Amino acid sequence: HTRRTAPTAPAAPAAPAAPAAPATPAASATPAAPATPAAAKFPNSQAENSLSEYSLVCVDLGTLWMGP
């Protein structure tokens, strides 16, 4: 009976959480996306016309970035 138990044990390691690890780095890429629009604010500051149009977008976001 012990021999039958041995093959069962290796079956468990066959399904490791290794694939779950790669999923973690993928999540890190998500926060990077929001950082992109944030950087767009700086170039917009140079163009006053862009600020007026970008301000409308801020209102949709909840006026949390620029405000009034």
DSSP 21-57: HHHHHHHHHHHHHHHHHHHHHHHHHH-HHHHHHHHHH
Cα–Cα distance for residue pair 64/58, rounded to 1 Å: 7
Q: Is the pLDDT of residue 57 over 50?
A: yes
Q: Is the pLDDT of residue 51 over 50?
A: yes
Say what the pTM is.
0.14
Q: Is the pLDDT of residue 55 over 50?
A: yes
Q: Confidence class of residue 35 from pLDDT cuts 50, 70 and 90?
A: very low
pLDDT value for 14: 47
